[in-house]
Copies of this chain bind each other. A is one copy, B any other.
């Protein structure tokens, strides 16, 4: 049985109780609003980072939220590109500002252990900068929480990768809209996945560089960088188990 871990659905008095020990762990999901092909919703990244966070939180007694739904610009080699209609790309400055404030606000609340759970490839460096600036802000006050930053797919074990990608793993960068995301969505948000609309195609072959202006012909017409056709809810369960176990271990061990 699960209990409520997401603070946006929790009242302030309950929240204060949960963090009163000073030992509470907060997981902040970081996603995007970005096209994910014809078979998955624009909110895929924010939904999955939130779900992976909530599952982990339930396992280790942590709390979750609020979700950052506004991510950095989609890049062609990891998200198809920000020229695509349906994708919302925020400037570095805004992503950094959101993360910086969240660290500062949680710290003001008395929360000392914060984990950013990234679910949109392009975000990582900007979340990093936001946290780094917040730590600098708080240093001036003689304070400062411990913060961990990770991308959830990094916790899929090599064993699981080998098992789920028997014909070879294309890499997390071209996973965009592929087997991992689709399987996780099938397991956790099946009503939002339409497998019959999925466009099958080989993994995109992208160059070793980025181009401005982008060359749209390099992105498959689906907007996905690899095909989610082989996805199943069961794979989603296996992936999630690997991710949650890994994250739970890392957080409990280091924060």
Nearest Cβ in chain B — how far from A16, in angstroms? 5
Which chain B residue lies CB-closest to A136? B137
The answer to whether A105 has its CB under 8 Å from any CB of chain B is yes
Which are the 5 A-B pairs with shortest beta-carbon distances?
Answer: A12-B86, A8-B43, A12-B35, A140-B140, A150-B209
This chain's copy number in the assembly: 6
Kindly identify, within residues 200 to 241 of chain A, every residue whose CB is under 8 Å from any CB belonging to chain B. Answer: 207-213, 223
The answer to whether A91 has its CB under 8 Å from any CB of chain B is yes
Given A41-B8, A208-B155, check contact A101 B88 (CB 8 Å): yes
Categorize the interface residue count of chain A.
35 or more
Q: Which residues of chain B have C-beta atoms less than 8 A from A40's C-beta?
A: 11
| A/B interface sample: 8 pairs, CB < 8 A | A12-B42, A13-B37, A13-B38, A66-B70, A132-B212, A146-B212, A150-B209, A209-B250
Q: Which residues of chain B have C-beta atoms less than 8 A from A197's C-beta?
A: 11, 13
B149 adjacent to A212 (CB under 8 Å): yes
A92 adjacent to B129 (CB under 8 Å): yes
B213 adjacent to A133 (CB under 8 Å): no
